[in-house]
Structure 1
Amino acid sequence: MDSTATDRFEAGRNRLASLAYRLLGSAADAEDAVQDAFLHWQAADRQRIDVPEAWLTKVTTNLCLDRLRSAQVRRERTVGAWLPEPLLDGDPMLGPADTFEQRESVSLAVLTLMERLSTLERAVYVLREAFAHSHAEIAEILDITESASQQHLHRARRRINDGRRGGGEVDPASARRIVEEFLAAATSGRTERLVALLTDDATAISDGAGGRAQTLLRYDTPERIAAVVRAGFKPTPAKRRFAGGTPALHYALVNGAPAILFVVGDHIVGSALFDIADGKIATMRGIAAPARLARLTAAWRQHGPGTRLVTPW
């Protein structure tokens, strides 16, 4: 393949990766899908491709849908072992962020809610909300009618809206203040203050301190969450040994939302990610599985550190 064709693909790689990430919720899988699209581009009769960007969008989208339909992926997501892979703000894979809809479509909350959608609903939602494709373009990409595209979008929006908690974007300064108050309460043992910072229907989800659990761990009452958080944030020699040292706790923005990152040297060993609604914490996700933190760590090494939080760790 000549350099012009390679350059043309590389010019659109970040856009394709952003599309694939939104569809799959995994940076590693998105990279694989984009590489597969490149192989298709290599093998194609490019003289017969009138609009390469549209062709590559169609190929990448359908490669992602094939992955979502695979037996292995369906099994993993059905048994509850799946979480979106977090990305540090500024990562090009997060893609377009000019509108609220584009920013929201890559939030961990919406990536999780998209698990409620069929594969076609998911594709239509992403192509329309994040990339502003017309229904005519979406129909061509997915080999469906424009009417079907409109119907899939309507159902997808309804299901996403039904699962939303709170409304609109959260003020960054307020979000940071809430997380800092949360951390102060978690490290001081003030569980009553932790409870006060959580919504009444708050949820906490963890991959079991590094993905050792067969399924995700879930906690659904403020009191239970506060107790688990207090135990989890209490430093011990065993936790330091597990982490490979004494973690420094940093504040960062991950997928557009506030997060606490546990960093040893230049390696992220754990993360606490927050969804804020109505001035309180609605969802907390604890992710420590190395595979889920690989790209986050790579970005951290290149662009970090964020603000270091003063804690007893």
Structure 2
Amino acid sequence: MEGATDIFIRMQPRLLGVAYRMLGSLAEAEDVVQDVWLGWNEAESSQVANPEAWLVTATTRRSIDRLRLARNDREHYVGIWLPEPILTEDSPATPEELQEASSDLSIAFLTVLERLAPEARAAFLLREVLDADYSEIARTLDKSEAACRQIVHRAKSQLREERPRYVVSAASHQRLMRRFTEAWSNADFKTMKEMMAESATLLGDGGGIVTSFPKPLVGGQRIAQLLFASTLRHKHDLRIELALINGRLGVLRYFGDELESAQSYDTDGERIVQIYVQRNPEKLRRIAAHHASPLN
């Protein structure tokens, strides 16, 4: 029979995935899962009818509490708040699983989820990502099934206009990204500009530690000029690497040996439509150390 510790170890990647999607911060997600581990040790696990449900429920509830506390800090955040990016390139997932993860783990998706209140975010994720039934969601949130249905319905309506409108295959996205980074590395401004949608948007997070745009930068040509300027400014010190960031091919930009930013890209299959540039050193620490934490 599987022991309590074995159950938790088996479930840990899933719990971390739940907490990370709730919080957009791997550091905070790890704290939540650690709290759940302590609670699991104190519980009479042998008397728990459904250990998996108990652990997911505990993780979700602790994530809701943590997110309520974090929202006040994020409201006073300097500049634009973006989720902490994670590397998924060392994940044992299949290409199909990575394609699925790219939609519910992407920086774009996690950024959109910030618009939801904590309980609505939990209900939406449990239903739409984890495919939980409404009875399970009701037990987790301590609400009626009818109330949970309403919460999910309102959350879906709230996010409908904000979620990425394009369904792009991983292969198409990768081809575009390889072409774009090749042009960037070769200082081919003409191609970089042509690959940007006219209405492209760039959002940057410096956390008040390093410089970044306080508001979204709009316009494909302006964004191409900004990215190209780094090529001219840093010349031989600039290094651009492709990496799987949150399940989708993105860019790690180095100045010398220092990781300057992790960049996530949304495309429509032909042009780049959105770029999320994480420059906050605190949120780059794991990637800078080449630490990958694949989430399932």
Q: How many pairs align?
A: 292
Q: Give the 3 Å change call, closer, same or farther, for CA 94–154 of structure 1 in structure 2.
A: farther
With the length of structure 2 as denominator, give the TM-score of the two structures.
Answer: 0.84
1:114 is matched with 113
Structure 2 vs 1, CA of residues 276 and 41 (structure 1 numbering), >3 Å: closer, same or farther? Answer: same
Q: Which residues of structure 1 form unaligned runs of 5+?
A: 241-245, 304-313
Amino acid in structure 2 at the alignment position of 1:116: R
1:18 maps to what in 2?
17
Matched-pair contact (CA < 8 Å) for 2:80–2:215: no
The 1:302–1:193 alpha-carbon spacing in structure 2 relative to 1, beyond 3 Å, is same
> Residue 156 of structure 1 aligns with which residue?
155
**Which residue identity is paired with 1:178?**
L
Cα distance in structure 2, aligned partners of 1:26 and 1:164: 20
Contact 2:262 2:277 in 1 (8 A): yes
Identify the residue that residue 249 of structure 1 maps to in structure 2. Answer: 240
Asked if the contact 1:91/1:299 (under 8 Å) is kept, the reply is no
Give the alignment's Cα RMSD to 1 decimal: 3.3
Ranges in structure 2 where 5+ consecutive residues have no aligned partner: none
- Counterpart for residue 192 of structure 2: 194
How far 1:145 sits from its partner (Å)? 1.1
Q: What amino acid sits opposite 2:216 in the alignment?
A: R
Deviation by residue 1:228-251 (Cα, 9 ceiling, x = unmatched):
1121333428xx8xxxxx454221
Letter in 1 for 2:249: P
Bigger relative contact order, structure 1 or 2, given CA contacts below 8 A and separation 6+?
2
Distance 1:76 1:178 in 2: 33
Taking structure 1 as the reference length, what is the TM-score of the superposition?
Answer: 0.80
Partner secondary structure for residue 283 of structure 1: strand
Distance 2:64 2:164 in 1: 27
What letter matches 1:129 in structure 2? E
User: Tell me, what secondary structure is at the counterpart of 1:152?
Assistant: helix
Whether the aligned pair in 2 keeps the contact of 1:94 and 1:106 (CA below 8 Å) is: no
Deviations 1:187-211 (A, max 9, x none): 5555443332122321112224994
Q: Residue 39 of structure 1: CA displacement?
A: 1.2
Pair 130,301 (structure 1): closer, same or farther in 2 beyond 3 Å: closer
1:281 alignment partner, one of 272, 281, 291: 272
Equivalent residue in structure 2 for 1:178, among 176, 179, 183: 176
Following TM superposition, by how much is the alpha carbon of 1:102 offset from its aligned partner in structure 2, in angstroms? 5.2
Q: Could you say what secondary structure the match of 1:199 adopts? A: strand
The verdict on how the C-alpha distance between 1:57 and 1:265 changes in structure 2, with shifts beyond 3 A counting, is farther
